[in-house]
Amino acid sequence: MAVLKKKSKVATEAQLKEHREKCTKFFEVKKQLNALKAQETKLKAELDAFVDAYTKKDTKGNRFFHSVDYSGKPIILERMAKKSFALNKENARLFFKQRGLLSLIFKTRTITEEYIDEAAINEMHQCGDLTKEDIATFTDITETYATTFVKQKAEKEEE
């Protein structure tokens, strides 16, 4: 599989300066966001504990805490009850077995699914029956990028 390299462009000093400033700003905003997220997580945990301890549930299991924002407008913090249900196989088996309905409720199914045997492809490649180019013809390659900051242990030269 051939790797295509793009030709690098050369940035002007003005472009470098502008984008270094943007990089610095981006770094600072990222730090502030992380600090705000940590603060939000802590405040939420404290509020959740308070609301659970000192408010009553409504008919749906929700809890509400009334307060005001910094401008004095009323706000309501809601702890919305979310319920999910999953059948417990062992308890259901016991329940329906006691009532003689086990065979009506418990069924067996066989699922047949076509799949690609990657080990067989790898073996064919190792034996020389498939080339990298052959494999590339039926392989989807997606490239994505994440923009993050890394701490440098030593100064690296710019590329």
| pLDDT tens-digit readout, 116-140 | 889 999 999 999 998 998 888 888 8
**What is d(CA 61, CA 56) in angstroms, rounded to the nearest whole number?**
9
Mean pLDDT of the chain, nearest integer: 86
pLDDT exceeds cutoff 60 at 155: no
**What is d(CA 153, CA 38) in angstroms, rounded to the nearest whole number?**
26
| CB of 52 closer than 8 Å to CB of 63 | yes
pLDDT exceeds cutoff 60 at 157: no
Q: Enumerate the β-bridge partners of residue 78.
A: 64
User: DSSP letters along 21-48, please?
Assistant: HHHHHHHHHHHHHHHHHHHHHHHHHHHH
pLDDT at res. 154: 52
Q: What is the pLDDT of residues 8-53, one digit of tens each?
A: 788 999 999 999 999 999 999 999 999 999 999 999 999 999 999 9
Place of tokens 């923009």: 147
| CB of 50 closer than 8 Å to CB of 77 | no
**What is d(CA 96, CA 88) in angstroms, rounded to the nearest whole number?**
12
Q: What is the pLDDT of residues 71-105, one digit of tens each?
A: 998 899 999 988 888 889 999 999 999 999 888 88
pLDDT exceeds cutoff 60 at 5: no
Q: Enumerate the β-bridge partners of residue 79.
A: 63
Say if pTM beats, i.e. exceeds, 0.85.
no
Helices (H) and strands (E) in the chain, counts: 5, 2
